[in-house]
Amino acid sequence: MRDRERPELPLVLRASFGLGLLGVATSAAGVLTIGLLAWLNGAPERFGRHVGLLATVGIGLTAFALVVGMSVNTALQRRAIGPLREGGELTAVQATAVYRLPARLMLVSGALWLLGVAVMSVLMFSLLSYTDAATGVAFIALGGITTTAYAYLATERLLRPVMSRVLESYQARRGTVLGRLAVTWVLSGGVPLVAVVIALSYTRSSQDERIRVVFVLAGIGVFLGIASTVLLARSVGLPLRRMRTALERIARDDFDARVEVNNTTEIGLMQASVNDLARGLRERERMRDLFERHVGDSVVDHAMSVGASLSGELTEVVALFVDVIGSTELAYALPTEDFVAKLNRLLGGVVAEIDREGGLVNKFEGDATLCIFGAPVQHADPASAALRAARRIRDSVTEAGELDVGIGIAGGRVFAGQLGTRSRLEYTVIGDAVNEAARLTEAAKALPGRVLASESVIEQCSTGERECWSEHARLELRGRADETLCFTSQR
Give the tens place of pLDDT for each residue, 240-259: 888 898 889 888 888 888 88
pLDDT digits (tens, 9 = 90+) for 28-87: 777 777 777 666 666 666 666 777 787 788 888 888 888 888 888 778 777 777 666 665
pLDDT digits (tens, 9 = 90+) for 334-383: 999 999 999 999 999 999 999 899 888 888 888 899 999 998 888 899 99
Same-domain check for residues 90 and 202: yes
User: In this predicted model, which residue has the larger pLDDT, 247 or 140?
Assistant: 247
Q: What is the pLDDT of residue 45?
A: 64
Domain boundary among 251, 266, 285: 251
Q: What is the pLDDT of residue 399?
A: 92
- Residue 171 phi, psi dihedral angles, 5° rounding: -85, 105
Domain boundary among 251, 283, 310: 251
Residue 152: closest CA among 19, 325, 322, 300: 19
Same-domain check for residues 103 and 195: yes
How far apart CA 259 and CA 238 sit, in angstroms, is: 11
Domain-embedded: residue 138: yes
User: DSSP alpha helices (H): ranges in 86-176?
Assistant: 92-127, 130-158, 160-169
Q: What is the pLDDT of residue 148?
A: 81
Q: What is the pLDDT of residue 308?
A: 45
pLDDT digits (tens, 9 = 90+) for 298-336: 555 655 555 544 467 889 999 999 999 998 889 889 999
Same-domain check for residues 43 and 106: yes
Q: Are 24 and 110 in contact (CB under 8 A)?
A: no
SS3 state at 376 = coil
Same-domain check for residues 416 and 481: yes
Same-domain check for residues 319 and 234: no
- DSSP category for residue 50: G
Domain-embedded: residue 272: no
| Highest-pLDDT range among 5-14, 110-119, 170-179, 402-411 | 402-411
Q: How far apart are the first and last CA of the chain?
A: 65
CA-CA distances (angstroms) from residue 80 to 73, 88, 95, 97, 342?
11, 12, 7, 5, 59
Same-domain check for residues 195 and 311: no
The average pLDDT across 140-149 equals 80
Number of domains the chain contains: 2
Q: What is the helix, strand, coil percentage profile of the chain, to 5?
A: 65, 15, 20
User: DSSP alpha helices (H): ranges in 159-296?
Assistant: 160-169, 177-185, 191-201, 207-251, 266-295
Same-domain check for residues 100 and 211: yes
Same-domain check for residues 309 and 442: yes
Same-domain check for residues 223 and 119: yes
What's 312's domain CATH number? 3.30.70.1230
How far apart CA 12 and CA 48 sit, in angstroms, is: 42
User: In this predicted model, which residue has the larger pLDDT, 274 or 135?
Assistant: 274
User: In this predicted model, which residue has the larger pLDDT, 101 or 461?
Assistant: 461
Same-domain check for residues 452 and 316: yes
Half-sphere exposure of 183 (CA within 13 A, CB side): 21
Same-domain check for residues 480 and 349: yes
Same-domain check for residues 330 and 225: no
- Residue 68: give the domain boundaries: 11-251
Half-sphere exposure of 71 (CA within 13 A, CB side): 7
Q: What is the pLDDT of residue 345?
A: 93
User: CB neighbours (10 Å) of residue 162?
Assistant: 25
Strand (E) or helix (H) holding 35: helix 18-40
